[in-house]
């Protein structure tokens, strides 16, 4: 449970030190039923993501990738945003969150209503043919493991696999937002996967405060740590920020 005083301190900092930018990771979607890399009993306990979710492994054996990820991709529409995603969308709608950078590929921030979103690692919704670049949208993708395009080419989700470069425009935007914010709200990430893991220190070097919501402290080394599940802590924080803004002189 987050101490009232810490919540209040975080809310006051967010109002006093605009603009606010958020950086999210797999932990924010855990309460929507999507396992993180580290969830006990989750997919990635059995399959090392650095091996399975690598571009080398995909090229060598796309059927193996699709046998592990296919069901999730085909069922993507069944996953719903949780109160953590909704709280961030609410802060954006209230003009209190300028931008959201996510490492997630599940599209739940957009489903929650967030508009200003950078998907650093792409998304699972768009599926491309490696041969002719034709685009399919999940869940309307051809059957088969791996699914193939009408031209016969192998289909691959538009996600950044280990060993692939990040989309340059997304990385450039994320770096700019981190360098230009007054507070960076880091939610549900272990802050170990680069280059996203550098964003908290980039923000700090430019004078921002880093505020973290997580079950345990991560490598983000935040100035303020709010311990607990994002689906519980973020709605509390959003309510406090909105109340704090009402008190602030205009
Ligand atoms: P990670 O699996 O390395 O770490 C997850 C973090 O979330 C941990 O720090 C954990 O303590 C925290 N956490 C778990 N449950 C939480 C909750 N309910 N509330 C708050 N925090 C919680 O994830 P990561 O840092 O995002 O990193 C790695 C990669 O995982 C990214 O590249 C991402 O694309 C990929 N990934 C994405 C999804 C998704 O799109 N939902 C799911 C799994 C992995």
Summarize pLDDT for 78-87 with one digit per residue, the tens: 999 999 999 9
Q: What is the mean pLDDT of residues 89-93?
A: 98
**Between 249 and 141, residue with greater pLDDT:** 141
Establish whether residue 108 lines the binding site of ligand 1, counting it when its CB lies within 6 angstroms of any ligand atom.
Answer: no
How many other CB atoms are found less than 10 A from the CB of residue 184?
27
**Between 154 and 4, residue with greater pLDDT:** 154
pLDDT attached to residue 250: 67
Contact criterion met (CB below 8 Å) for 155 and 96: no
- State the average pLDDT for the chain: 94
Residue with tokens 């395009």, as numbered in its chain: 149
Q: What is the mean pLDDT of residues 106-135?
A: 97
Tell whether domain 1-34+80-121+166-250 is in CATH 3.40.50.1220: yes
Mutate to test the pocket of ligand 1, among 1, 26, 193 (most ligand atoms within 8 A of CB): 26
pLDDT attached to residue 10: 98
pLDDT tens, position by position, 194-232: 999 999 999 999 999 999 999 999 999 999 999 999 999
**Residue 242 confidence class, pLDDT cut points 50, 70, 90:** very high
pLDDT attached to residue 173: 98
Biggest CA-to-CA distance, the chain = 63
Q: Relative to the CA of 191, which ligand 1 atom is closest? A: 25
Does residue 47 register a pLDDT over 70?
Answer: yes
Does residue 185 register a pLDDT over 80?
Answer: yes
d(CA 48, CA 63): 17
In the reported structure, the alpha carbon of residue 187 is separated from the centroid of ligand 1 by a whole-number distance in angstroms of 9
The two structure tokens encoding residue 203: 């923000």
Whether 121 sits among the annotated catalytic residues: the reply is yes
Homologous superfamily of 35-78+122-159 in CATH? SIR2/SIRT2 'Small Domain' (3.30.1600.10)
Does residue 43 register a pLDDT over 90?
Answer: no
Does residue 169 register a pLDDT over 80?
Answer: yes
Does residue 142 register a pLDDT over 80?
Answer: yes
HEC-encoded secondary structure of the chain: CCCHHHHHHHHHHHHHCCCEEEEECHHHHHHHCCCCCCCCCCHHHHCCHHHHCEHHHHHHCHHHHHHHHHHHHHCHHHCCCCHHHHHHHHHHHCCCCCEEEECCCCCHHHHHCCCCEEECCEEEEEEEECCCCCEEECCECCCECCEECCCCCEEEEEECCECCCCCHHHHHHHHHHHHHCCEEEEECCCCCCCCHHHHHHHHHHCCCEEEEEECCCCCCCCCEEEECCHHHHHHHHHHHHHHHHHHCCC
How many other CB atoms are found less than 10 A from the CB of residue 5?
8
- Report angle CA 191, 8, 81 to the nearest 5 degrees: 50
Establish whether residue 246 lines the binding site of ligand 1, counting it when its CB lies within 6 angstroms of any ligand atom.
Answer: no
pLDDT attached to residue 45: 77
pLDDT attached to residue 213: 98
| pTM for the model | 0.95
Does residue 39 register a pLDDT over 80?
Answer: no
d(CA 128, CA 165): 16
The two structure tokens encoding residue 192: 């170990």
Q: What is the mean pLDDT of residues 220-248?
A: 95
Mutate to test the pocket of ligand 1, among 29, 138, 188 (most ligand atoms within 8 A of CB): 188
Catalytic hit among 85, 99, 121, 206: 121
In the reported structure, the alpha carbon of residue 63 is separated from the centroid of ligand 1 by a whole-number distance in angstroms of 25
How many other CB atoms are found less than 10 A from the CB of residue 237?
27
pLDDT attached to residue 53: 85
Q: What are phi and psi of 152, to 5 degrees?
A: 100, -10
In the reported structure, the alpha carbon of residue 1 is separated from the centroid of ligand 1 by a whole-number distance in angstroms of 20
Establish whether residue 24 lines the binding site of ligand 1, counting it when its CB lies within 6 angstroms of any ligand atom.
Answer: no
């Amino acid at each position: 449970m987050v101490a009232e005083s810490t919540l209040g301190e975080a809310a006051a900092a967010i109002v006093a030190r605009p603009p606010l930018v958020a950086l999210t990771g797999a932990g924010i979607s855990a309460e929507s039923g999507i396992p993180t890399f580290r969830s006990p009993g989750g997919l990635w306990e059995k399959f090392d993501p650095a091996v399975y979710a690598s571009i080398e492994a995909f090229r060598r054996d796309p059927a193996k990738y699709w046998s592990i990820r296919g069901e999730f991709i085909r069922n993507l529409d069944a996953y719903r945003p949780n109160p953590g995603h909704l709280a961030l969308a609410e802060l954006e709608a209230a003009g209190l969150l300028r931008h959201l950078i996510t490492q997630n590929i599940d599209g739940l921030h957009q489903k929650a209503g967030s508009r200003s979103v950078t998907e650093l690692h792409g998304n699972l919704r768009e599926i491309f043919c490696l041969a002719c670049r034709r685009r399919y949208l999940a869940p309307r993708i051809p059957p088969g493991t791996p699914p193939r395009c009408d031209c016969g080419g192998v289909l691959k989700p538009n996600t950044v696999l280990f060993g692939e470069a990040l989309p340059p425009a997304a990385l450039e935007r994320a770096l700019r937002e981190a360098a230009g914010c007054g507070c960076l709200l880091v939610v549900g990430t272990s802050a170990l996967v680069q280059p996203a893991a550098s964003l908290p220190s980039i923000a700090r070097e430019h004078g921002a405060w880093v505020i973290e919501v997580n079950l345990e402290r991560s490598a983000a080394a935040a100035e303020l740590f709010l311990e607990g599940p994002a689906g519980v802590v973020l709605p509390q924080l959003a309510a406090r920020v909105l109340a704090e803004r009402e008190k602030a002189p205009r």
